[in-house]
C-alpha cells in the first residue's frame, strides 16, 4: 500500500514539474530607422523575432522601406546602444569569437543574418528562420541591436581585409535596439526548462528506488 502511495506522489510531482517548466512563445521587436541619405531616402520599419519554444529556431520577419535596390548586409550587433546612432552598437554579436560567415555556414557569428535582397521599390517584407540566434540563454539577442548596412555582405568569402570580420558590408544605414514584445509572467528557459525537469525526474527516480529497496 505504502509503495503505491509513494509511486503516486512521485508521478504527481513529475506532472507538476512538467507543468511548471512548460515553455511560452516569446517575441521581440526592433523599430528600425536610420539617417536621411544624400538622395533623401531613409530606412524605416521593423524586424520581429519569434521563438516558439526553448532551443527552437527563431522566426525573423523583416519589414523595411527606404532601401536602395540590391543586397544589404543585415546583422545583430553586440550593443543595444544608440547614443551615437548606429555607430555605437559595436561589432557583430560574436560570443563564440569566430570568423564572420553566412547564415547557413557552419562557422559564423551569432549575429550573421546574411543579406536583405531589395527590389526596385525599396521595400522588403520577408520571413525566414535562423537556427543560431535565440531570444533567451547564452545566445540571446534581446537588448542588442539589429543593423542594416549600405552594401552587400560577402559572407566572409571575399578578398577584402574585412571579409572575415564584417563581410565588408559598408556603412550602417539603419539600426534599432531589440526589445521584448511579449506578455510573459515568468521568463521561459530560465532556471528550469527541460534541464530542470530532467533533474527533477532523476531525483524522484532515486528516491522511489531507495524507498522500494528498503521496503523489500
Q: What angle do CA 81, 87, 88 make, to 5 degrees?
A: 25
pLDDT in the model for residue 183:
76
Quick: pLDDT tens for 174-195. 999 999 998 766 666 654 334 4
Average pLDDT of the residues of the chain: 84
pLDDT in the model for residue 193:
39
Instruction: List the one residue out of 137, 71, 75 whose CA is nearest residue 111.
Output: 75
**Catalytically active residues, by annotation:** 75, 77, 92, 100, 109, 112, 149, 172
Cα–Cα distance measured from residue 175 to residue 166, given in angstroms and rounded to the nearest whole number: 16
pLDDT in the model for residue 24:
74
Quick: pLDDT tens for 88-133. 999 999 999 999 999 999 999 999 999 999 999 999 999 999 999 9
Three-state secondary structure string covering 39-106: CCCCCEEEEEEEECCCCCCEEEEEEEECCCCEEEEEEEECCCCCEEEEHHHCCECCCCCCCCCCCCCC
pLDDT in the model for residue 54:
83
Cα–Cα distance measured from residue 207 to residue 116, given in angstroms and rounded to the nearest whole number: 55
93 or 53: which carries more pLDDT confidence?
93
Query: Does the pLDDT at position 61 exceed 70?
Result: yes
Q: What is the DSSP code string of 103-163?
A: TTSSS--TTEEEEEEE-TTS-EEEEEEESS-BSSGGGB-TTSEEEEESS---TT-SSSTTT
Q: Residue 169 is inside which H or E element, if any? A: none
Quick: pLDDT tens for 131-172. 999 999 889 999 999 999 999 999 999 999 999 999 999 999
Q: In the CATH scheme, what is the code of domain 26-180? A: 2.60.40.200
Instruction: List the one residue out of 145, 142, 136, 141 whose CA is nearest residue 80.
Output: 145
Residue 165 DSSP SS3: coil
Cα–Cα distance measured from residue 161 to residue 167, given in angstroms and rounded to the nearest whole number: 9
- Phi and psi torsions of 72, nearest 5°: -130, 130
Average pLDDT over residues 68-78: 98
Amino acid at each position: 500500500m505504502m509503495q503505491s502511495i509513494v509511486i503516486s506522489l512521485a508521478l504527481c510531482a513529475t506532472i507538476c514539474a512538467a507543468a511548471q517548466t512548460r515553455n511560452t512563445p516569446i517575441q521581440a521587436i526592433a523599430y528600425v530607422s536610420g539617417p536621411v541619405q544624400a538622395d533623401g531616402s531613409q530606412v524605416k520599419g521593423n524586424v520581429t523575432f519569434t521563438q516558439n519554444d526553448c532551443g527552437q529556431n527563431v522566426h525573423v520577419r523583416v519589414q523595411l522601406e527606404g532601401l536602395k535596390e540590391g543586397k544589404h548586409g543585415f546583422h545583430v550587433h553586440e550593443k543595444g546602444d544608440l547614443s551615437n546612432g548606429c555607430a555605437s552598437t559595436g561589432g557583430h554579436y560574436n560570443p563564440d569569437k569566430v570568423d564572420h560567415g553566412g547564415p547557413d555556414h557552419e562557422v559564423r557569428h551569432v549575429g550573421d543574418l546574411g543579406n536583405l535582397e531589395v527590389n526596385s521599390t525599396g521595400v522588403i517584407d520577408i520571413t525566414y528562420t535562423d537556427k543560431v540566434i535565440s531570444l533567451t540563454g547564452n545566445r540571446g539577442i534581446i537588448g542588442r541591436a539589429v543593423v542594416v548596412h549600405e552594401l552587400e555582405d560577402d559572407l566572409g568569402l571575399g578578398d577584402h581585409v574585412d571579409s572575415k570580420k564584417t563581410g565588408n558590408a559598408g556603412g550602417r544605414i539603419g539600426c534599432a535596439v531589440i526589445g521584448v514584445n511579449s506578455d510573459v509572467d515568468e521568463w521561459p528557459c530560465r532556471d528550469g526548462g527541460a534541464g530542470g525537469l530532467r533533474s527533477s525526474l532523476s531525483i524522484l527516480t532515486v528516491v522511489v528506488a531507495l524507498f522500494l529497496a528498503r521496503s523489500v
